[in-house]
Amino acid sequence: MTDFPLRVRNGRDLKHFRGFTEELLEFGTQLPPVHLAEYKEMPAEDKSAFNEARRRVITRGVIVRNGSYQNVSTVLFGVMREHQYGSGGGHGVLVSGEPFMGKTTVARILMLELLRQRLHANPDCLRAGEVPVAYVNLPSTGTPLGLYRMLAQFYGLPIGKRETEATLEGMVQNAVNKCRTEILVIDDVHNLKYGGPHSPKVSAAIRRLGDDINCPILLLGIALEKTNLLIGQEGAQIAARYRQAEMATYQKAHMRTWRNLVKGLVDSMPLLGDNRHGMVALADELYVLAKGRIGNLNSIVSRAALDLIEAANPEQEVLTSHLAAAKAAEVVKADNFKARVNRRRRYAA
């Protein structure tokens, strides 16, 4: 009989700043390196605790500071520096890219870095009521009112059901400033209703929110340049206030960048075997298997790493092309299924 893995739940409310920051700090925890010889010397219970910790690191998501991270980080740094002593906001960074390219991941790495820096300078800052980073992920059918509600929920503001848009807007702006937030991330902005009567309201709401808070907004979404967020009169105001940061794509012509990505990812996997050897050849095979996409690559490598830990043969914890191909087949199957569902949804709409 299969011993199904128990889903570990921490009960955190990720839509509230407290749960979100706790989760973020955990996401950035890394395991101290353990060598094969050390592992072999461990008593059985230490081994099993170590293996559990490894699985936790992998399933939470292993990260690489890739080109996308470098680009967004540089642009955000520039924006923050230019406005360091200025009053008011009105500025921000816009990241537009295809699905599954790593937009949310990059934002998470940046929020984590900023949070760690502030905690390093003042370990009590969270207890003192500061919320250095704020994050909301917009649901489909998002409206400006919905955006303010989510922000109010994030800051734990006591809001009634009948609060007007204007009241909520004021409350949220006040919370962002009072809690000394330094980056506000609005993810999946493409979910805001861009059509019909909502359309001009959306850009205007984001512009107003930005104008009245003392920190930059990081707007993330799919193909934003084609939406009314940036098109039209109100859109032009957003376009003028935001600097764009590019997401990295991996084309065959730049195999070195891809190889570095694979190397970074494999190095971050807490595996005990020698994975340095044959890395270039494996990276080239993974390019084909993952279709040059970071999301697929991480899925393949993470699944393979979990299998290797499960196999309980530490010397052999080596990613091979055979294993990569098997895991890629699983990922492609899942991909095809998702594509079929999406096609059906499109036809149904």
Q: Which stretch binds ligand ATP (CB under 6 A): 95-103, 224-232, 236-244, 272-280?
A: 95-103
Q: Please report which residue ranges of 130-231 form alpha helices under DSSP H.
A: 144-154, 165-178, 199-212
Q: For Mg ion, how many residues bind (rule: CB under 5 A)?
A: 1
Q: Which of 57, 64, 133, 152 binds ligand ATP (CB under 6 A)?
A: 64
Find which of ligand ATP, Mg ion, none residue 177 binds, CB within 5 to 8 Å per kind. Answer: none
CA pair distance 78, 84, nearest whole angstrom = 10
Q: Which is nearer to ligand ATP, 88 or 139 (CB)?
A: 139
Find which of Mg ion, ligand ATP, none residue 119 binds, CB within 5 to 8 Å per kind. Answer: none
CA pair distance 59, 324, nearest whole angstrom = 17
Helix (H, G, I), strand (E, B) or coil at 183: strand
| Smallest distance, ligand ATP to C-beta of residue 343, A | 17
| Smallest distance, Mg ion to C-beta of residue 222, A | 9
Binding to ligand ATP in span 44-63, by CB under 6 A: 61, 63
90-119 mask for Mg ion (x: CB under 5 A)?
--------------x---------------
Residue whose entry in the numeric block shows the structure tokens 């594509």: 339
Binding to ligand ATP in span 125-144, by CB under 6 A: none
Hey, which residues does 221 pair with through a beta bridge? 96
Residue 137 engages Mg ion in binding (rule: CB under 5 A): no
Q: Which stretch binds ligand ATP (CB under 6 A): 98-106, 110-118, 207-215, 230-238?
A: 98-106
Q: Which is nearer to ligand ATP, 38 or 267 (CB)?
A: 267
Torsion of CA 198, 202, 205, 209, to 10 degrees: 150
Rg (CA), the chain: 22
185-205 as b/e, with b when 16 or more CB fall inside 10 Å? bbbbbbbbbbeeebbebbbbb
Q: Which is nearer to Mg ion, 104 or 321 (CB)?
A: 104
* Contact predicate 293/100, CB 8 Å: yes
User: Residue 56: CB partners within 8 Å, gap ≥ 6?
Assistant: 8
* Contact predicate 152/175, CB 8 Å: yes
CA pair distance 231, 115, nearest whole angstrom = 34
Q: Which stretch binds ligand ATP (CB under 6 A): 16-24, 94-102, 164-172, 238-246?
A: 94-102
Using the 8-state DSSP alphabet, how is residue 258 labeled?
Answer: H
Residue 275 engages ligand ATP in binding (rule: CB under 6 A): no
Residue 104 engages ligand ATP in binding (rule: CB under 6 A): yes
Residue 103 engages ligand ATP in binding (rule: CB under 6 A): yes
Residue 71 engages ligand ATP in binding (rule: CB under 6 A): no
Q: Which of 34, 53, 222, 239 binds ligand ATP (CB under 6 A)?
A: 222
Q: Measured in whole angstroms, how far is the alpha carbon of residue 63 from the centre of its chain? A: 10
Residue 298 engages ligand ATP in binding (rule: CB under 6 A): yes
* Contact predicate 210/217, CB 8 Å: yes
Residue 102 engages ligand ATP in binding (rule: CB under 6 A): yes
CA pair distance 315, 273, nearest whole angstrom = 5
Q: Which is nearer to ligand ATP, 101 or 115 (CB)?
A: 101
Q: Which of 105, 181, 199, 227 binds ligand ATP (CB under 6 A)?
A: 105
Q: For residue 112, what are its two tokens?
A: 């984590």
* Residue among 137, 99, 106, 132 nearest 118 (CA): 132
Q: Which residues bind Mg ion (CB under 5 A)?
A: 104
Q: Which residues bind ligand ATP (CB under 6 A)?
A: 61, 63-64, 66, 69, 97, 99-105, 222, 265, 294-295, 298
